[in-house]
């Protein structure tokens, strides 16, 4: 009887192996996809698919539940993002106009291709933009939100920025999980889908959002041209996106502002008259957001962004006036 | 045997058994067989089967106990042993063999060491369980396993200041700050400025998406590969 049991054990092991083989052949179609092809498919899916995604965002010590709706109305993208906890906070995007509806201020619109606060804008745009700073590596598979997911790692080419990991739904290529990871492999920020529903019909909410008259896009022409500050050093892939001279929000001091981006990480650099109390040289928050300050005479250079603090320090130090 | 019955046997194997379960096991022939099978399965999975498989483990344990002088067994103290009885045990009198079908109350002195043995096997079984789970985890890339928990851990701070967060409000003044000799007002001013920069940075993220988007969509979108 015991020998029988042993035989049964051996049999069950071999049949288990066969099952695995079957599953592998089923997913063989995906085997040929490179990491970049997966990301390209994601970019396409984020623009074309109609879906409802319930997700949570882990940011520092906060957990923010959100719902994201995306659809297409008359060949235009319409998206809706709602923060579910706390005071009502929504964002609506109709094509390239994003309107923020927040409880404490009148709705305002900006122009842009993606609602900020969810996936990086580049995910629904040109993935090639990231290739200067990152490598795409195919990872394993795991189950997210009840669906099989394919892991794609976006590894930084240098230690000047953080790494990212993204889990894509194997059926629809929509992102199910997005992690920002420090070089010590510490999780800094995470967006985690709880439920993904791919819709056949456009949800009525988006149809209404499309018909709704939204405030006009805020005018950006008042941005003044700043002085010609140059970075002597910039990590590969980073580019100056915006530069201007303006008044700092909630403050009466005017600053020179330069925005840098490598597609995933964004850095703001401010040049301002130094305050009475020197700011700390480097400061790091739990979600990876860092601040570095460099004081030059009576001017302080402040760099803010979700990159390692050493990068910010080096950037701030390398800023010179041409 | 019903599902519930199997569950308590497996908990005995895992070393999570109550006194009652153990007593039950000693009397239930069916459960004993199951218990033995569970251990056998465990050994097979771990590849720890001896070259010569002695399947009747309980019997050999019982035999071993039988050969062991009963005097070392705890519980004997409260029951005086006659010299006759003792000699019976030493000589291997079948009457004193702890067959598993003999009620524990009949020979509590010998049953106790049997359970000690059981305990050891139970611990081994639970260790094996951990080992199996451990191996499974190693097969998965470590980073996939990363739970959301680390986010909740406070990062050790770099520099001399405290963490700032837009929404969590006032950063706490650290002892280093205090030791640098800043007054409360200066610290507040410092915090306010840091928060201003962070808030402006966040706002710019919203506004700059347009600039980023234009930049990125310069190249035509390629059709996805299937």
Concatenated DSSP letters of B47-82:
T---SS----HHHHHHHHHHHS-GGGSTT-TTS---
Contact A71, A50 (CB under 8 A): yes
Residue B63 half-sphere exposure toward CB, CA atoms < 13 A: 5
Q: Is B47 on the interface with A (CB under 8 A)?
A: no
Q: Which residues pair with A244 in a beta bridge?
A: A257
Quote the pLDDT of residue B161: 35
Kindly state the helix (H) or strand (E) to which residue A180 belongs, with its residue range. Answer: strand A175-181
Domain boundaries, chain B: 3-142, 164-216
Q: Is A307 on the interface with B (CB under 8 A)?
A: no
Architecture of domain A229-321: 2-Layer Sandwich (3.30)
Contact A182, A134 (CB under 8 A): no
* pLDDT tens, N- to C-terminus, chain B (226 residues): 455 556 777 777 777 777 777 777 777 778 788 887 888 788 778 877 666 665 566 667 777 777 766 554 444 444 444 444 444 444 444 444 444 444 444 444 444 444 455 555 555 555 544 444 444 444 444 444 444 443 333 333 333 333 444 333 334 434 344 445 667 777 888 888 888 888 888 888 777 665 554 444 433 333 344 4
Q: Is A50 on the interface with B (CB under 8 A)?
A: no
Pairing, β A266-273 against β A282-284: unpaired
Cβ-Cβ contacts under 8 Å between A and B: the total is 211
CATH topology of domain A29-211: outer membrane lipoprotein receptor (LolB), chain A (2.50.20)
| Nearest CB partner across the interface for A250, out of B37, B157, B196 | B196
Quote the pLDDT of residue B98: 43
Residue in chain A nearest B152 by alpha carbon: A61
CA B62/CA A251 separation, integer angstroms = 85
Q: Is A150 on the interface with B (CB under 8 A)?
A: no
| Nearest CB partner across the interface for A41, out of B151, B182, B224 | B224
Quote the pLDDT of residue A162: 92
CA A214/CA A95 separation, integer angstroms = 12
Is A261–B167 a contact, with Cβ atoms under 8 angstroms apart? no
Residue in chain B nearest A59 by alpha carbon: B151
Q: What residue ranges of chain A have pLDDT lower than 70?
A: 1-31, 60, 219-226, 249-251, 322
Chain A segment 4-23 residues within 8 A of B by beta carbon are: 5-6, 9
Q: Best mutation site among A30, A100, A107, A126 for testing chain B: the one with the most B CBs within 10 Å?
A: A126
Q: Tell me which chain B residues have a C-beta less than 8 angstroms from the C-beta of A270.
A: 197, 200
Is B201–A305 a contact, with Cβ atoms under 8 angstroms apart? yes
Quote the pLDDT of residue A241: 85
Residue matched to tokens 């962004």 = A305
Is B213–A112 a contact, with Cβ atoms under 8 angstroms apart? yes
* C-alpha dihedral, A21 to A23 to A26 to A30, nearest 10°: -100
Report the gap between the CA of A112 and the closest CA in chain B (Å): 4
Is B224–A45 a contact, with Cβ atoms under 8 angstroms apart? yes
Is B212–A304 a contact, with Cβ atoms under 8 angstroms apart? no
Residue matched to tokens 């964004």 = A266
Q: Best mutation site among A85, A240, A249 for testing chain B: the one with the most B CBs within 10 Å?
A: A249
Q: Best mutation site among B143, B182, B190 for testing chain A: the one with the most A CBs within 10 Å?
A: B143
Nearest to A286 by CA among A117, A118, A61, A58: A61
A261 is written with which tokens? 């981006």
* C-alpha dihedral, A21 to A24 to A29 to A33, nearest 10°: -140
Indicate the length of chain B as a whole number: 226
Q: Is A2 on the interface with B (CB under 8 A)?
A: yes
Q: Tell me which chain A residues have a C-beta less than 8 angstroms from the C-beta of B190.
A: 275, 277, 279-280
Domain boundaries, chain A: 29-211, 229-321
Q: Which residues contact B155 (CB under 8 A, 6 or more apart)?
A: A186, A284, A286, B163
Residue in chain A nearest B171 by alpha carbon: A285
Quote the pLDDT of residue B14: 75
Quote the pLDDT of residue A298: 81
Three-state DSSP class for A147? strand
Q: Is B201 on the interface with A (CB under 8 A)?
A: yes
Residue in chain A nearest B188 by alpha carbon: A277
Contact A306, A266 (CB under 8 A): yes
Quote the pLDDT of residue B162: 38
CA A22/CA A300 separation, integer angstroms = 63
CA A69/CA A80 separation, integer angstroms = 5
DSSP state of B165: B
Contact A294, A271 (CB under 8 A): no
Q: Tell me which chain B residues have a C-beta less than 8 angstroms from the C-beta of A40.
A: 222, 224-225
Q: Is A60 on the interface with B (CB under 8 A)?
A: yes
Distance of CA A121 to the CA centre of its chain: 7
Contact B201, A288 (CB under 8 A): no
Q: Is A282 on the interface with B (CB under 8 A)?
A: yes
Pairing, β A175-181 against β A254-261: unpaired
Is B155–A286 a contact, with Cβ atoms under 8 angstroms apart? yes
Quote the pLDDT of residue B198: 85
Nearest to B23 by CA among B126, B125, B105: B105
């Amino acid at each position: 009887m015991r020998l029988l049991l042993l035989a049964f054990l051996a049999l069950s092991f071999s049949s288990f192996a066969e099952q695995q083989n079957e599953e592998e052949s089923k997913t063989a179609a995906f085997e040929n996809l490179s990491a970049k092809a997966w990301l390209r498919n994601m970019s396409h899916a984020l623009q074309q698919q109609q879906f409802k995604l319930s997700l949570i965002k882990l940011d520092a010590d906060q957990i923010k539940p959100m719902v994201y709706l995306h659809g297409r109305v008359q060949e235009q993208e319409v998206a809706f993002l709602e923060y579910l906890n706390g005071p009502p906070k929504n964002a609506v995007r109709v094509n390239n106009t994003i309107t923020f509806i927040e409880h404490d201020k009148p709705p305002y619109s900006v122009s842009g291709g993606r609602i900020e606060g969810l996936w990086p804008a580049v995910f629904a745009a040109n993935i090639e933009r990231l290739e200067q700073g990152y490598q795409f590596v195919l990872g394993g598979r795991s189950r997210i939100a009840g669906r099989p997911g394919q892991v794609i790692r976006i590894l930084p080419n240098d230690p000047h920025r953080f790494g990212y990991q993204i889990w894509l739904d194997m059926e629809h290529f929509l992102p199910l999980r997005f992690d920002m990871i420090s070089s010590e492999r510490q999780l800094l920020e995470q967006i985690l889908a709880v439920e993904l529903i791919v819709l056949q019909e456009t949800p009525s909410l988006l149809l209404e959002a499309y018909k709704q008259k939204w405030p006009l896009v805020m005018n950006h022409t008042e941005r003044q041209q700043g002085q010609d500050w140059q970075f002597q050093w910039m990590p590969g892939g980073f580019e100056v996106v915006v530069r201007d001279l303006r008044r700092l929000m909630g403050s009466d001091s005017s600053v020179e502002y330069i925005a840098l981006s490598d597609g995933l990480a964004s850095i703001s650099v401010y040049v301002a008259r130094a305050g009475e109390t020197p700011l700390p040289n480097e400061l790091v928050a739990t979600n990876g957001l860092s601040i570095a300050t460099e004081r030059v005479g009576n001017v302080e250079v402040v760099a803010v962004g979700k990159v390692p603090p050493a990068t910010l320090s080096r950037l701030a130090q390398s800023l010179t006036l041409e | 045997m019903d599902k519930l019955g199997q569950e308590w046997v497996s908990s005995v194997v895992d070393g999570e058994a109550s006194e009652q379960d153990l007593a039950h096991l000693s009397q239930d022939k069916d459960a004993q067989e199951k218990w033995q099978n569970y251990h056998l399965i465990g050994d097979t999975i771990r590849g720890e089967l001896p070259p010569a498989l002695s399947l009747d483990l309980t019997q050999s344990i019982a035999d071993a106990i039988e050969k062991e002088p009963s005097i070392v067994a705890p519980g004997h103290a409260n029951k005086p042993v006659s010299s006759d009885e003792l000699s019976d045990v030493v000589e291997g009198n079948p009457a004193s063999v702890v067959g598993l079908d003999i009620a524990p109350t009949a020979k509590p002195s010998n049953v106790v060491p049997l359970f000690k043995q059981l305990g050891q096997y139970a611990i081994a079984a639970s260790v094996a369980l951990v080992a199996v789970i451990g191996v499974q985890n190693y097969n998965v890339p470590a980073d996939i396993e990363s739970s959301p928990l680390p986010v909740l851990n406070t990062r050790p701070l770099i520099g001399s200041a405290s963490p700032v967060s837009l929404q969590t409000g006032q950063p706490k003044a650290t002892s280093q700050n205090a030791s640098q000799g800043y007054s409360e007002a200066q610290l507040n001013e410092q915090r306010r400025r840091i928060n201003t920069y962070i808030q402006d940075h966040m706002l710019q993220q919203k506004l700059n998406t347009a600039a980023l988007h234009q930049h990125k969509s310069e190249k035509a979108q390629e059709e996805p590969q299937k």
